[in-house]
Amino acid sequence: MVYVTRKTHFNAAHRLHNPEKSEEWNKLQYGDCNHVNWHGHNYELHVTVSGLPNPESGYLIDLGKLKKVIEDVIISKCDHRNLNLDVEFLNNIIPSSENLVIAFYNQLKAPVNALCYPFGKLHSVKLFETERNYAEYCPDK
């Protein structure tokens, strides 16, 4: 199995807040990440495909095309945005890193798989919120 990863980044604001819980619960659960006026991150996004190279091209996926899909599907919608308010596919989702990787994976799955079919598929999405904290979603592991 071959794994190919495209790394990109975006900047966005968010607030971790569960509207079904009390203000006190939210403050205890999320601390500074629950700040009423939001907070921001310089996110780093890794999108990985897995499979075998196409015998004709030697590629599992054309990285230029993968870059464009990531830009169109995720970056153009999230960069310099408020993830709670501005990103339609994140409506009603608490924008934790864990929830973001699942949402990003679901948005990317069909267009990425179309690029590498029949030799591969979207394997995982990893999102670094900081240099030391990241979440990864890999549903087939």
Catalytic positions, written as ranges: 33, 80, 129
CATH number of this structure's domain 2-137? 3.30.479.10
Distance CA(36)–CA(125), nearest Å, equals 29
- State the pLDDT at residue 140: 84
For the chain, domain boundaries:
2-137
The ranges of the chain with pLDDT < 70 are 141
Tokens linked to 102: 């699942």
- State the pLDDT at residue 22: 98
**63-70 vs 97-116: helix crossing angle, rounded to 10:** 140
Tell me what the pLDDT averaged over the chain comes to. Answer: 97
